[in-house]
Amino acid sequence: MYSLRCAAEEKCLSSSAYGPEVTDYDVRVLLRFPQRVKNKGTADFMPNRPRHTWEWHSCHQHYHSMDEFSHYDLLEVSTGRKVAEGHKASFCLEDTTCDFGHLKRYACTTHTQGLSPGCYDTYNADIDCQWIDITDIQPGNYILKLTVNPKFLVLESDFTNNVVRCNINYTGRFVRASNCKIAQS
């Protein structure tokens, strides 16, 4: 838990991590995964809040330009019931890479953030909150559902490509993801 103190501050762990009996020496099990978001539209994808309202997080030493850039849900295969969840606040909305013929215009700064058409914003699996806390989850088969712009706070020309679903097999020791596809919801 000690190494997860910044993530705990941002409420990125399951509710059992916040009990009074939890100590700095407790261990959490995290389902980590990368995320690569492409702007497939014709206009810039900009933070939904004006710059002067971005929230400073002293633990991570950066601003959050969007409270909810992505939601992550772990669902039971048979019922679709949510058994665990995570979220990602945008702290660095930028053009990480771009398709041929498209130029990077946004970098991670305190003054400007965004995602240009034809460009990607990439979050590696080792970044805080780029996970779902599965400490309390039993081994089994699940669906991982990743949703970008989950509350539709940023206008887009097409919201139908904002959800990806993957089959997850959790053995209790490792996770295997397969069959990841864009889904309607």
pLDDT at 2 over 70: no
The domain spans of the chain are 31-183
Q: Taking a C-beta distance cutoff of 8 angstroms, is the pair 115, 139 a contact?
A: no
The model scores a pTM over 0.85: yes
pLDDT digits (tens, 9 = 90+) for 5-61: 777 777 777 777 777 777 777 888 899 999 999 999 999 998 888 888 887 777 767
- For the chain, strand residue ranges (E) read 30-32, 35-38, 55-57, 62-64, 66-76, 82-90, 97-98, 119-123, 131-133, 140-148, 163-170, 175-183
pLDDT at 77 over 90: yes
pLDDT at 90 over 90: no
- Give residue 110's pLDDT band: very low, low, confident or very high (50, 70, 90): low
pLDDT at 64 over 90: no
Q: Taking a C-beta distance cutoff of 8 angstroms, is the pair 109, 91 a contact?
A: no
